[in-house]
Structure 1
Amino acid sequence: MSADSTPSSGRNPAVRTRFAPSPTGFLHLGGARTALFSWAFARHHGGTFVLRIEDTDVERSTPEAVQAILDGMQWLALEHDEGPFYQMRRMDRYREVLAGMLAAGTAYQCYCTPGEIEAMRERARAGGRKPRYDGTWRPEPGKTLPPVPEGRKPVLRFRNPPDGEVSWNDLVKGPITIANAELDDLIIARPDGTPTYNFCVVVDDWDMGITHVIRGDDHVNNTPRQINILQALGATLPEYGHVPMILGPDGEKLSKRHGAVSVMQYDEQGYLPEAMINYLARLGWSHGDDEIFSRAQLVEWFDTRNLSKSAAQWDPKKLNWVNAHYIKQSAADELAARVAPRIARRGGSAEGVDLAAVMGLLKERAETLEQLADDAMLFCGAFDPAAIPAELAAQHLTDAARAMLRDFAGQAADLEWTRENIAALMKATLAKYGVKMPALGIPLRVAVIGRAQTPAIDAVLALIGREKVLARLHAI
């Protein structure tokens, strides 16, 4: 284990997990779920959660993508205990291990060009065999290797065992066995000396003492190769668990058209991180029939035995339901702090508005913080009576309605402005004119807010304030 990856004091050294994204794009939903499962497993066992940035794809890796990953992890509060470690800063270590493998004979130089490799594959296909590298440069007792081509730089290949099997008991899928004959000699370093993905992952997991690898099942085919390299290095093998992919609502692989976007876009769309954690956890993991649970409960309950063997399906309606639950459970002042910047982006102002009280009124019907911000503009946005839609005014602001509203405004001028008093005045006005609530409530909404539907109108009027309400009523 390298010096920079010593287990944190006070933690269980028997469990060390990692999340190792490639910074070639944003932190997407599948990556966020993998990070969550790895984090929850480490937390459940009192272990260590390592963050590693696999940035060896120099052409596609960007600082912006690194920051997007870090931002996503921070928003979800998936705190890492060690790292972030960057593979590009570990090149000396990789070269050291490559040199050792070359000296030990577990790796060898191969001078085949990409064109020659493709020709090998074509010949194999033509002969009904699996297309693969044919071992031209693999040293064997009594074998004469071709002459080294002048000026050509070699790749390094791992000398994969020719016989036997690779087996592991997958934490999710159960026992898996792959015949070594199915695996060819993997390239572990390119002609310029830079190591390849599967090699870097192995050295990192070895050096960082990773004990449990939880990742997507698109890595299943990498696992036997990585196990063989680890065994060639004399390293202790981690346990592997491969989680099935997330499907879109139509059963197809999740893509951008389904909402497979950066997790930070869900922040922009008004989802709470605690709701996203809850929903992501249920995509492929369960604890009985529990749908809603806290982060602490997730950590307490998390067990890889409850990870599903089948693909999970993304359901935006279910996410909205979960988010609405967390909004309802949030304190009004906390929601006010989260929604205030969204109101400002809409050109509104919460100055002079009891925003916490507004949140308390609106949160029961809201699915997202964006919806809360839209609805809060009733109280925080400018209002122009002349902008009331003509059709709405014609339907609800009749001569009879206007007369009733003027009477209401006159009675309200000296009213102590509380919801209870406003409700009492509305009740008295209804009795005076012999009408039912919609005959007064809807015209009040249209005249004061410009909408026919709002939460309870007495509560809305109380929060808007006497001066604004009377000014708007007198303006009709």
Structure 2
Amino acid sequence: MGFHVRGLCVNTCRVSHPIACPRSIALLMPPLLDTCAPNLMPSILCIWPGGPRGAAILPRVPYMDIAEDRPLRVRFAPSPTGSLHVGGARTALFNWLAARHAGGTFILRLEDTDRERSTPESEAEILRVLEWMGLDWDEGPHRQSERDDIYRDCIEKLKAAGAVYAAWETAEELDAMRAEARANKQAPVVRGRRDHTPDEIAAFEAGGRTPVWRFAVPLPGETVIEDMIRGTVTFDHAQIEDFVVARSDGSPTYNLAAAVDDMVMDVTRVIRGEDHISNTPKQMLVIRALGGEPPQYAHVPLILGTDKKRLSKRHGAASVEELEADGFLPQPVRNALVLLGWSYDDKTTNFTMDELIEKFDISRVSKSPAVFDMKKLEVMSGRYLRAMDEQEFADALVGWLAATGYFEGKAPDAPDLARRTAPLVQRKMSRLNEYDRLAGWLYHPLKFEPEALAALEEDVKKSIQCIGGGLGRIEVLDEFTADTIKDALSDQLHIQGLTAREFLEPQRIAVTGQTISTGIYESLALLGQEQSVTRYREALGRLAEQWTGGE
């Protein structure tokens, strides 16, 4: 719950904590008390039994949105430990759209506190993918690994305020504590000892132990999140363990660093996956203990595969990098991602970036899990490719082929050939990696696919007649264009009394070696008369061997 004071959105909760005592209340909300302490102190301190475990009950009033005079500041904070997952990309897109819609600020922050798993290569790839998606950032990238001084300073402030304590328990002792709690049918919530004697501490140190620092979660109490998607979510402090904020080497944990960064960077709204919702009360407690005010929160739903299980590689591409490698362009990927939980109406599935910026509203995101369906993405992608201007499509196709190394080892004119082929494949493709299936035969000698060869050998005599008839027509043409080829082959199929499918299928296989390709007339024209005749004769030779063997 919360109230406003000069643009401050103040979430309130039932708490008990040494930092909330009258002597140190200024540490909790200094900006607030500077402006209106006389009015707020009576209600804030309405109950104070005394002592570090006493309960202070703060007023509960209706939650309000960020005041209009507070600019929206959002952040996308991936961990550079691998590729950017589809879920992370959607989170980035939602944050970016929210910022652009409101004229706010989109901050990029790299949460690389996991020093062993974070790599420069992963960081570079995340930045590249964001740029590929068209998501530019206004501030950053900030790296948590470069902000240790800030975190250590905040840890010292928490120590001085009595908000954290040194915990000396070993991993084995913690496991035993959790096991005992489970045996007693209690939540396995860790509460470290805070009453070690000087002699005990000296013994720990002599034995080589160094403490971690745990946040003293106020008891009794609860933290309430007024989530913009999930509504009111209440966390009983009895179910939140005294979480570690500083490791034994003094380095910050995720919850400490994330909370400090959100406060220092003046983030006003956190949009992230619902798998982080259990971290939210911990981060809110840290922010309040440091005298800050938590931002708004919006936890977007999980993404599932079509089998309703959490999205993973078994469902196909699980990262944006894989989608790009599979031949999807940024525009349909953005449309597919934004519709994972958000909708403008029940029918619109294709938006320009400007339309998304205009229409996006985080409050329209559903809290139900979203299903990522590769087949739907392919449909959306196919529609987008077919709607592209021919020149734009050719540029995109040649650019993608070059980026994926498709032209390596091929003739120097391979890019030009792809550009000339582009109009022939544009309406047949749902993603760019289908180009090789349709037109790859242009780049290598005739090679029959097993199913194509089987189709010819099903009736060898008929196949020889069809291919021979076609060869007789095309090898005498003075002008070798798609139109003249079409006229010549059409005359021949009527002479032989065959349907277009019966006559043209063998021509396609003879030239391309496959049953699916670009249009046969255009394919022959692209290949040129000399190479086309050569391929016809090669196919006839292959069939003649089969025919002879049959006799």
TM (normalized to structure 2)? 0.77
Contact 1:108 1:138 survives alignment (8 Å): no
Find the aligned partners of 1:452 and 1:406 in 2 and give their Cα distance. Answer: 18
Partner of 2:249: 192
Partner of 1:178: 235
The Cα shift of 1:280 comes to 1.0
Contact 2:474 2:488 survives alignment (8 Å): no
422, 440, 453: which one pairs with 1:377?
440
The Cα shift of 1:453 comes to 4.1
Matches within 5 A, 1:261-280: 261-280=318-337
Find the aligned partners of 1:112 and 1:56 in 2 and give their Cα distance. Answer: 23
Letter in 1 for 2:359: W
Find the aligned partners of 1:58 and 1:470 in 2 and give their Cα distance. Answer: 62
393, 397, 401: which one pairs with 1:332?
393
Find the aligned partners of 2:450 and 2:201 in 1 and give their Cα distance. Answer: 83
Find the aligned partners of 1:67 and 1:314 in 2 and give their Cα distance. Answer: 26
Partner of 1:351: 413
Find the aligned partners of 1:398 and 1:125 in 2 and give their Cα distance. Answer: 75
Partner of 2:201: 148
The Cα shift of 1:376 comes to 1.9
Letter in 2 for 1:358: T
- Are positions 1:446 and 2:509 aligned together? yes
Letter in 1 for 2:201: V
Partner of 1:57: 114
Taking only the aligned residue pairs, the percentage that are identical comes to 37
Deviates more, 1:243-252 or 1:385-394: 385-394
**SS state at 1:454 partner:** coil
User: C-alpha deviations, 1:42-87, integer Å up to 9, x for none?
Assistant: 1111111111111111222222222232232222222221111111
Deviates more, 1:76-85 or 1:154-163: 154-163
- Are positions 1:240 and 2:297 aligned together? yes
Contact 2:169 2:192 survives alignment (8 Å): no
Find the aligned partners of 1:33 and 1:236 in 2 and give their Cα distance. Answer: 27
Partner of 1:400: 465
- Are positions 1:421 and 2:477 aligned together? no
The Cα shift of 1:410 comes to 4.2
Find the aligned partners of 2:439 and 2:453 in 1 and give their Cα distance. Answer: 23
Contact 1:37 1:281 survives alignment (8 Å): yes
User: C-alpha deviations, 1:430-463, integer Å up to 9, x for none?
Assistant: 3444443234322322322223443432222222
- For the structure 1 residues 119 and 452, does the alpha-carbon distance in structure 2 shift closer, same or farther, using more than 3 Å as the test? closer
Partner of 2:281: 224
Partner of 2:523: 460
Letter in 2 for 1:175: T
Partner of 1:42: 99
Find the aligned partners of 2:498 and 2:277 in 1 and give their Cα distance. Answer: 70
Unaligned runs of 5+ in 2: 1-68, 541-551
- For the structure 1 residues 453 and 192, does the alpha-carbon distance in structure 2 shift closer, same or farther, using more than 3 Å as the test? closer
The Cα shift of 1:93 comes to 0.8
**SS state at 1:344 partner:** coil
Partner of 1:430: 493
Contact 1:404 1:440 survives alignment (8 Å): no
The Cα shift of 1:238 comes to 0.7
Deviates more, 1:437-446 or 1:310-319: 437-446
Find the aligned partners of 1:278 and 1:19 in 2 and give their Cα distance. Answer: 19
**SS state at 1:234 partner:** coil
Letter in 1 for 2:441: L
User: C-alpha deviations, 1:156-202, integer Å up to 9, x for none?
Assistant: 22232223321121011011122233323222111111111100001
Partner of 2:15: none
Deviates more, 1:462-471 or 1:341-350: 341-350
Contact 2:385 2:393 survives alignment (8 Å): no
**SS state at 1:214 partner:** strand
Contact 1:347 1:381 survives alignment (8 Å): no
367, 381, 389: which one pairs with 1:309?
367
Contact 2:222 2:235 survives alignment (8 Å): yes
Matches within 5 A, 1:97-108: 97-108=154-165
The Cα shift of 1:18 comes to 0.9
**SS state at 1:83 partner:** strand
